[in-house]
């Protein structure tokens, strides 16, 4: 049995070490707008780290740094021992991202969406692809959806297809951007269970960006909260149940106040 520092590949018998992510003093500005201001935290091998924060706080921008799609204005991001911006990082570390909107190809069936990466990179024969795609569909309970097109799927199924497609890449590091947004509470809980299952079964290092308080409280090993570009909280879900910082309490447990409504304070 693999130990906590080993990733058992869901599709082969290979065992590869789980990777860590280290975000060190990461700053990012677009023009004169500071989006990330010296953010520091790390994700341990095989851990689920959930990064929360209000809309526009820079969560998606931070994820893009981890997969090397953005260059830091200051500080650095390391994946395992590699710099996230270096081309070789994506050759050395298998990482996959489940994008906020799914990013499925509408003209391809579910099966072909999952097979695309393997075909494009010539990673398996058609028999091998059938086995890997079939396994991913089975893990996500999507066997009946293989020949459907994305437009024929519900929002929850699309999210599951996006996760299945990421799994086919056999990731050591799995990143999720808002995996439960736009889903009903039961489907959100189901997706949370799937994220936890993938971590528990395969020890995939997992970084989830989400507003979903229940997801964070129930499946995170650790949680960070971004606000105004800074990490204002780093701790365990237990620490979040009765937050000491009033900013954290106001974010996680907002009170609806019709006498003094927030919409009157919105920036225009
Ligand atoms: N390429 C870009 N150029 C200029 N500004 C950008 C760019 N990408 C993001 N931003 C800005 O950075 C800020 C943070 O955006 P980001 O998408 O990371 O927010 P978020 O925390 O993911 O929000 P949400 O919860 O709504 O998804 C926003 O003000 C956004 O307009
Ligand atoms: Mg976002």
d(CA 193, CA 170): 19
Of 257 and 245, the structure prediction assigns the larger pLDDT to: 245
CA–centroid distance, residue 146 to ligand 1 (Å): 34
d(CA 198, CA 74): 33
d(CA 65, CA 162): 20
d(CA 189, CA 179): 11
State the pLDDT at residue 7: 47
Tens of pLDDT along 253-264?
888 778 777 777
State the pLDDT at residue 268: 63
CA–centroid distance, residue 193 to ligand 2 (Å): 21
State the pLDDT at residue 117: 86
Residues 6+ apart with CB under 8 A from 199: 46, 47, 48, 206, 219
Residue pointed to by tokens 């693999």: 2
What would the mean pLDDT of 63-70 be, rounded to a whole number? 94
Residue 14 has pLDDT above 60, yes or no: no
CA–centroid distance, residue 64 to ligand 2 (Å): 10
What would the mean pLDDT of 43-49 be, rounded to a whole number? 95
What would the mean pLDDT of 233-239 be, rounded to a whole number? 95
State the pLDDT at residue 2: 44
d(CA 117, CA 30): 32
Closest Cα to atom 17, ligand 1: which residue? 60
State the pLDDT at residue 18: 82
Name the β-bridge partners of 50: 208, 223
Q: What is the DSSP string of 82-94?
A: EETTSTTHHHHS-
- Of the segments 10-14, 24-28, 113-117, 144-148, which one has the largest average pLDDT value? 24-28
Residue 13 has pLDDT above 70, yes or no: no
Name all domains of the chain by residue range, CATH numbers in brackets.
19-94+172-268 (3.40.50.300), 104-170 (no CATH)
Tens of pLDDT along 162-188?
999 988 888 999 999 999 988 889 888
Residue 5 has pLDDT above 60, yes or no: no
Of 32 and 263, the structure prediction assigns the larger pLDDT to: 32
Q: What is the DSSP string of 142-184?
A: -GGGTT--GGGS-HHHHHHHHHHHHHHT--SEEEEESTTTT--
State the pLDDT at residue 115: 93
Tell me the Cα Rg of the chain: 19
Calculate the average pLDDT of the chain: 88
What would the mean pLDDT of 7-28 be, rounded to a whole number? 74
Please, which residues have CB less than 5 A from ligand 2, an ion?
A: 60
State the pLDDT at residue 229: 92
Q: Is the CB of 57 under 6 A from ligand 1?
A: yes
Tens of pLDDT along 107-126?
999 999 999 988 888 777 88
Ligand minimally distant from the alpha carbon of residue 64 = 1
Q: Is the CB of 60 under 6 A from ligand 1?
A: yes
Residue pointed to by tokens 């060190």: 24
Closest Cα to atom 7, ligand 1: which residue? 30
The predicted model scores a pTM of 0.88
User: Is 232 in contact with 249 (CB distance < 8 Å)?
Assistant: no
Q: Is the CB of 179 under 6 A from ligand 1?
A: no
Name the β-bridge partners of 203: none
State the pLDDT at residue 232: 95
Ligand minimally distant from the alpha carbon of residue 61 = 1
16 — pLDDT class (breaks 50, 70, 90): low
Q: Is the CB of 56 under 6 A from ligand 1?
A: yes
74 — pLDDT class (breaks 50, 70, 90): very high
Of 100 and 218, the structure prediction assigns the larger pLDDT to: 218
């Amino acid at each position: 049995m693999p130990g906590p520092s080993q990733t058992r590949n869901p599709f082969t018998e290979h065992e590869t070490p789980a990777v860590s992510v280290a975000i060190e003093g990461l700053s990012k500005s677009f023009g004169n707008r500071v989006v990330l201001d010296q953010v520091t935290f790390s994700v341990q091998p095989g851990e689920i780290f959930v990064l929360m924060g209000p809309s526009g706080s820079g969560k998606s921008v931070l994820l893009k740094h981890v997969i090397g799609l953005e260059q830091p204005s200051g500080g650095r991001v390391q994946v395992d021992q590699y710099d996230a911006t270096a081309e070789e990082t994506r050759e050395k570390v298998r990482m996959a991202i489940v994008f906020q909107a799914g990013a499925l190809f509408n003209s391809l069936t579910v099966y072909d969406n999952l097979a695309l990466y393997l075909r494009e990179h010539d990673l398996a024969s058609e028999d091998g692809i059938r086995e890997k795609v079939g396994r991913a569909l089975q893990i996500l309970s999507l066997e009946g959806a293989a020949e459907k097109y994305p437009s024929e799927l519900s929002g929850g199924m699309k999210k599951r297809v996006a996760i299945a497609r990421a799994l086919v890449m056999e990731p050591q590091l799995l990143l999720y951007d808002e995996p439960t947004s736009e889903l009903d509470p039961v489907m959100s809980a189901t997706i949370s269970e799937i994220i936890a299952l993938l971590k528990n079964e395969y020890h995939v290092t997992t970084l989830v960006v989400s507003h979903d308080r229940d997801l964070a409280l129930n499946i995170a090993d650790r949680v960070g909260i971004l606000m105004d570009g800074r990490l204002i909280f780093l701790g365990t879900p237990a620490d979040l149940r009765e937050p000491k910082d009033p900013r954290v309490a106001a974010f996680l447990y907002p009170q609806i106040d019709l006498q003094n409504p927030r919409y009157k304070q919105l920036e225009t």
